Structure formats: structure tokens, C-alpha cells
Structure 1
Amino acid sequence: MRTRTVGGSGLEVSRLGLGTMTWGSDTGLDAATELLASFTEAGGNLVDTAPAYGDGVAEEILGRLMHTVIARDDLVIATKAGFGRKGTHRVVDTSRKALLDDLAGSLRRLHTDHIDLWQVHAWGSAPIDETLAALDVAVSSGMVRYVGVCNYIGWQIGTAAAWQHAVPGRAGLISGQVEYSLLARRAEIEVIPALAHHEMGLLAWSPIGRGVLTGKYRTGTPRDSRGARDHFSWFVEPYLESRSRSVTDAVVRAADGLGLTPAQVAMLWVRDAPGVTAPLLGARTAEQLSGYLGLDDVHLPEPIVHALDDVTGGPNQGRQTQEMGTPR
């Protein structure tokens, strides 16, 4: 699998990432073992997790597998901080104490002495200088190699990146992780331009439209799908409406004409979109993941790309700029 550097940094990652949001809930140890083995055998190295995934179980599984399936140094581990559970409620706490406590917990669960990419999971109510100072501490202490943010909108990315650039010695942000797919192109308006301006890479979560762009929800909700599970139905439901069905139909037609699956078409559109470092694949089984591997030399024809752009909201301005020969 080919690699890309993350933004303007020297961190090199596979151009597909493995997401672990279902680990510890829908994906148990055996399935996670098969997923990680298949992913790394194909040349993948970027694995994204978080303390919030399975209330820490996802990190625990990954930590175990790094001692049984693959060597720690063969992976780029991206995890997060600032978002989790207190009792039955999900809370965002981006204070210095909460972030550094989360980091200590992640290091313990992952059985490692450092995180390759540590990300603030969400914008919080703590002062931004306090939040970012925690990132500086993590990097200067050697517990973290690089830092980024997740689910920030454009002005939040600009504020955080500019603050870190203002004083020499602060840990510069190298990445932003947001939802991006043919069903969620909002990032093109402000987020992707902000990331590009500050030389930050984009890690795209849910590139398959929360599973909807596979086409399996076209005639109902399959019993074995995320949408049929109480703890994930809320995640899928927003895309089970008429507009999403029209987009999915277009993806299915493109896939039929190209001899690909709808999921492969949706992933390739994201992987090769301007500014994207890597789509993060939330496959629950090795069988689901296998369809995305081995596509290094496969690209969507430009007419198909533009047709999908048009169906889902109009031209991708970054793609147009790229085609006119303006440097990215």
C-alpha cells in the first residue's frame, strides 16, 4: 500500500487507515485480530482509536494485538482525548487535567510508551490555550510524537493552528479528522481550505457514509447491520432519507459500470479527493475490509468523479483547482 505524509510533517502513513470504533462492542478480539493482520499484510500502518471506543476496550484490544500480531514499531497509532463517559452521559472535557489523564490511560491500555498521533477529540469549553498547552506538554515529554484535532470546524482549526504557530517551540498541529464522504461534503466549505492553509492533513472518518453507501440499506435495514443495533442505529439513521438514497443509487450505478462495489467507489472518491491524507475504514470484519485493500492502482475515471460530484452537491473546488494546474 502506498503512503502519504500527514500535512507538512514528516509523519508517513498508509493512505488507508483502520478505524476501531466498533472494537469492544460489535468487533471482538478474534475479529479485530483478523482485521489488523489483513490490514498490515496489505501494507497498512495507520490505526485510529480512542478512549471513548468501547469505553477503552478498543485501545486494550489494540494494545494486546501489538504484542501478539504485529510489532509496535510497524504501526502508526492515532488516538484521542477529551471525550468520554461519566456515568451514563457522554461528556467533552478538554481541560489540561482531563487531556493528560486520558493520555495516561491510553498509554496504559495500549502498553506503549508513546502515541504517534494524539488528537483532541472535540472542541470543548476549556480555554483553547489550556487545551493546546496540554498538547505541548505531551510532545515535549516524549509521550506523543505529533498532535492534531478532530471534529473541529473551520474557524476552530484556524484558531488552534494559528495559536500553535504564534510562538516557536509549540507543537504544531499536523492533522484534522472530520467526517467526509459523498454523503457529507460540508468539510469542503471551510474545513479543508483551513487544513490546507495550515499545512494539515485530513483524516476522513466514515468515508462510506456510515455504511449507507455500500447500498445495503436501499431496501431496508439488514438485521446484521449497524443500523439494526440499538447502540449504532442513531449513527446510521440520519442518512436513511430520500437524498441519501439518490446518492447511493448513483454510486451503485457507477460501481456496476466499473466492475467495482459501491463501497469501493465511495472509498476511492474520498481517498483521491484533494487534501485527503487517508480515509479511515470502520470495517467490522476482515471480509468487509478485504474489498478496500489492493486498490493502489485503481482510480475512478474523471467523468465518473465529476458526475458523483454533481449528484452530491456540485463541483469540488479543490479538485477543479488541482486540474487547472495550481499547486496543492
Structure 2
Amino acid sequence: MEERHVGRSGLLVSRLGLGTMTWGEDTGPGEAAAQLRAFADAGGTLVDTADVYCDGDSERILGHLLRELVDRDGLVVATKAAIRPNGRYDASRRHLIGALDASLDRLGLEHVDLWQVHVYDPATPLEETLSALDEAVASGRTRYVGVSNYAGWQVAKAAAWQRAWPGRAPIVSVQVEYSLLSRDVEREVVPAALDAGAGLLPWSPLGRGVLTGKYRTGIPAGSRAANDHFAEFVQPYLDEECGRIVESVVTAAEGLGVSPLAVALAWVRDRPGVAAPVVGARTAAQLAQALGSEDLTLPREIRRALDDVSDMAPPHP
């Protein structure tokens, strides 16, 4: 699998990341092992988790697999913190450092490769949040730091603060939802990340699964939209406007002789600033479809057509 630098940093990752949000709930240890083995065998390196995924079970399962199944040194392990188990945002220095230590314990690691602030916390001064990132790097707990789900101005402010004084840890990544069904980040987040030299790590690059085409004729049993945990998560992308985009993806896929999943993933993977889309598959079979998109590069005409059909209304003013 091809590798890319994350932004203007020296961190190299595979241009497809493995998401583990369902590990420990919808994806059991055996299926998680099959996913990680297939991903590593395909040359994948970036594995993304977070302290709140499945109440920490995602990190526990990943930690076990790093010890028993794959070579940890061959992977780029990324995790996140700033959300308490009760859903409250907390990016205070106290919470973040404690959360990172707990993540390392669950993972069974002395350090992670990338540690990201999961959400922006308006109740905590940004400089306090960023001081925790500095401490994490200085103490060797992580090699690189980034942010997740930040607005454009928040990315710009954080990146500028870190560049303002020598020795601060630069923001190298911005993890954010980005797909053909969710392009609003192109207004401000993407330009801010590009200006800051931070690489984009899109989550839900398949439009919460909708861009696979599985919902064209209804909600199939066993899908996320049929799952109590994820139904509300998927529902916003089942409207008529999103349906038109999905049909365009399906038409492109039929013309190329590939799956809609491959078309949608290749589109976001090759957008400006993107280092690696993070795909969270429920099963190893689903992950295999994503891995099969590695060799696909969309023809310019198809890319332009998808750009047009998914284009956003111009901003006002």
C-alpha cells in the first residue's frame, strides 16, 4: 500500500487507515484480529482508536493484538482523548494527561505514534489543552499530536499557537468527517489544515456507509441503519439529495467495473491535503472491499462529474 506523509511532518502512514470504533461491541475480538491481519498483510500501517470507543475495549483489543498478532513497530498507532465516559467534553490538562496514561495502559504501550484531541472543549482555554500535547511529546508518551473535529478557526488558532514559540509540538493532523456526502469541511477546515501544514484524516469517508449503495432500496438487516446504536447516525444521509449523489457514484462504478465503495473511497483519498481516510469496517469482509480500492485512480472526467453532483451551495456572503 502506498504511504504518504501526514501534512508537512515526517510521519509516514498508509494512505488508508483502519478505524476501530466498533471493536468491542459490534466487532468482536476474533473479527478484529481478522481485520488487523488483513490490513497489515496489505501494507496498511495507520490504526486509529480512541479512549471512549466501546468504553475502552477498542484499545484493550488492539493492545492484545499488538502483542499477540502483528509487529507493533510496523504500525502507526493513533488514539484520541477529550470526551469523558458520560459524553462531557473535557480537554483540560488534568483530564488529557490522565486519559493518555490510561490509554497507554490499555494498549500495553510506552508510547503511541499519534495522539489527537478528540473534540474542541470551549470550557477549557486552548493554551491549556495544547500544553498537554507539549507535555505528551516531551515526556515520550507520543511522537506526534493533532486535533479532531475542530472548526476551521480552531485549527488555525491551535496551529498558530504551537508555531509561535520554539519547542512546542506542532499540530500535524486534523481528523474530521469528510466524504462526497459531507464536503462542508472544504469551506474552512481544509484550507486551515493546508495552511497549517496538517494532514487530513477523514472519518466516515464512505458517508456513514451510505456511499456503498447498500441503502438504495431500503435498510438491509444487519446494516448500521438497522442498528439501535447507529440508526440516528446514518439517517441524515438517507435523504433525496444524498440519494442523487449515491446514484452518481453507482453509475461511475458500473462504468469502471468496480464497486461504489471503491469509487467513493478513491475520491476522498485523493482530495487535496488528505493523508489517509480512516475506514471503520464491521467485518473483515467489508474491510477487504476497502483494501481492494488501493489500485483505483479515478479518471479526471469521473472525478469532475462527482465534484459537480456533490458540490455545495456557494457560501453567503
**Same fold, TM-score > 0.5, yes or no:** yes
The answer for the alignment partner of 1:273 in structure 2 is 271
CA distance in 2, matches of 1:280, 1:297: 17
The answer for the alignment partner of 1:123 in structure 2 is 120
Asked whether 1:110 is paired with 2:107, we answer yes
Aligned-pair CA distance for 1:295: 3.6
The answer for the alignment partner of 1:182 in structure 2 is 180
The answer for the alignment partner of 1:243 in structure 2 is 241
SS of aligned partner of 2:201: strand
CA distance in 2, matches of 1:112, 1:314: 43
2:262–2:296: 8 Å Cα contact kept in structure 1?
no
The answer for the alignment partner of 1:21 in structure 2 is 21
TM-score by length of 1: 0.94
SS of aligned partner of 1:7: coil
Instruction: Give the aligned residue type for 1:99.
Output: L
SS of aligned partner of 1:291: helix
The answer for the alignment partner of 1:101 in structure 2 is 98
Q: Percent identity?
A: 57
Instruction: Give the aligned residue type for 1:17.
Output: G
The answer for the alignment partner of 2:40 in structure 1 is 40
CA distance in 2, matches of 1:277, 1:203: 6
1:205–1:279: 8 Å Cα contact kept in structure 2?
yes
Cα shift readout 1:64-101 (whole Å, capped 9, x = no counterpart)? 00011102111100100101313xxx111000011011
The answer for the alignment partner of 1:55 in structure 2 is 55
CA distance in 2, matches of 1:7, 1:274: 10
The 3 A distance-change label for structure 1 pair 218 and 77 is same
The answer for the alignment partner of 2:250 in structure 1 is 252
CA distance in 2, matches of 1:270, 1:295: 12
CA distance in 1, matches of 2:112, 2:66: 13
Aligned-pair CA distance for 1:219: 1.2
SS of aligned partner of 1:273: coil
Aligned-pair CA distance for 1:313: 1.0
Cα shift readout 1:13-45 (whole Å, capped 9, x = no counterpart)? 000000011111100000000000000000001
Instruction: Give the aligned residue type for 2:80.
Output: K
The 5 A counterparts of 1:139-158 are 139-158=137-156
Instruction: Give the aligned residue type for 2:265.
Output: M
1:208 pairs, out of 180, 183, 206, with: 206
SS of aligned partner of 1:207: coil
Count of residues in correspondence between the two structures: 313
Aligned-pair CA distance for 1:52: 1.1
The answer for the alignment partner of 1:300 in structure 2 is 298
Instruction: Give the aligned residue type for 1:160.
Output: A
Aligned-pair CA distance for 1:142: 0.5
CA distance in 2, matches of 1:171, 1:84: 24
CA distance in 1, matches of 2:84, 2:181: 26
1:55–1:84: 8 Å Cα contact kept in structure 2?
no
The answer for the alignment partner of 1:318 in structure 2 is none
1:82–1:120: 8 Å Cα contact kept in structure 2?
yes
Structure 1 residue ranges (4+ consecutive) displaced by more than 3 angstroms after TM superposition: 294-297
Structure 1: any 5+ residue segments left out of the alignment? 316-328
Structure 2: any 5+ residue segments left out of the alignment? none
Cα shift readout 1:117-153 (whole Å, capped 9, x = no counterpart)? 0000000021101000000010000011000000001
The answer for the alignment partner of 1:321 in structure 2 is none
Output the aligned Cα RMSD.
Answer: 1.2
